Amino acid sequence: MIVRPKPNLLNVLISLKGSIARRIAVRSLMITLLAALIVLVGTIHPDWFVRVEATPFTLLGLSLSIFMSFRNNACYDRWWEGRKAWGRVILEIRAFARQSVAIGNDALREKLLRELCGFAHALNARLRDEDELAAASKWVADLPERPGQNVSDAILRRIGRQCTHLAQRQAISEWRAIALEERLNGLTEAQATCERIKSTPLPFPYTLLLHRTAYIFCILLPFAMALPLGWLAPLFTAVVSYTFFGLDAIGDELENPFGRDENDLPTDAMVRTIEREILSSLGHWELPPVLEPVDFVLS
């Protein structure tokens, strides 16, 4: 996620980090060169071109803008829902840590809370298609490895069993066990929300239609602008292609908010927040440092 102060005019013009300009530079350049070629041919052989009215392009551009706005809103909703789900993870782990003070066995309490850190690491790795077991191994001991195992859910199940055993031995009261189970249910719900976002992309035909329409519009636009604008046509074509291709690329980036793109959610930083708060609740004074943005990118 991009974290930087409010940009001034100079930064607005020259900032590349997080602007998706590099992702669409080749496409925009090709459209601009095509516009320049059309203007050059139209200047040398004006009889080869028929003046094209701009009205159809105005209507098509307006429709395309509306459709892209709908898609980008849907993609932003996915990004924001993912952020709320991770906020739920932080909330539930904080609540579990606070309520777990009723566990009289300090070693067992520390084991349970460290396993919650392992859950956060495993969930982060799962959403990024990385090795969950390796991510959680620092915090979770002797977790059995099975092919295709949902490590983060396995950690929650193990914590739940241990809380049930505590209640059965009357080491904690029944209502306290229920409260801890509610925190685990909240973590399960947050995990399911993240998995739903990751595993259910936007309908492909809808995305494909917008991709094709954007390309067709940007390729045909220079034919309408070449005669009335002359050598200004490549400039306006570049601006239009940058806008449409940029909106398209932003939607693609926000559709899956759990990766490592510059504008994805800073899940590493949120996992580090969980680590610090768990260790602090266990009485540790030396905490891992807060993750800071590197070149304006918070991972």
How far apart (Å, rounded) are the C-alpha atoms in residues 152 and 127?
A: 11
pLDDT at 11 over 70: no
Q: Which of 85, 171, 154, 163 is nearest to 118 (CA)?
A: 154
Which residues are CB-neighbours of 141 under 8 A, at least 6 positions away? 111
229 neighbors 51 (Cβ within 8 angstroms): no
Alpha-carbon distances, residue 79 vs 46, 60, 252 (angstroms): 49, 28, 11
Q: Report the share of the chain in percent with pLDDT over 90.
A: 24
Residue linked to tokens 């991770």: 86
CB 250 within 8 A of CB 20: yes
pLDDT at 19: 66
Beta bridge partners of residue 2, listed in sequence order: 297
Report which of residues 252 and 274 the model is more confident about: 274
Q: Find the mean pLDDT for residues 69-95.
A: 91
Tokens standing for residue 111: 């084991």
pLDDT (average), residues 207-230: 82
Query: What SS3 class is residue 168?
Result: helix
Q: Which residues lie closer than 8 Å to 78 by C-beta, 6 or more apart?
A: 197, 254, 255, 256, 257
Which residues contact residue 256 at a Cβ distance below 8 angstroms, ignoring those fewer than 6 apart? 78, 197, 198, 201, 264
pLDDT digits (tens, 9 = 90+) for 177-191: 889 999 999 999 999
DSSP code, position 263:
T
Q: Is the pLDDT of residue 10 over 70?
A: no
pLDDT(220) > 80:
yes
Tokens at residue 223, please?
A: 């034919």
Q: Per residue in 126-181, pLDDT tens?
A: 999 888 888 888 888 777 666 567 889 999 999 999 988 888 888 888 888 889 99
Q: How do the domains of the chain map onto residue ranges?
A: 19-281
Among candidates 141, 143, 155, 142, which has minimal Cα distance to 188?
Answer: 155
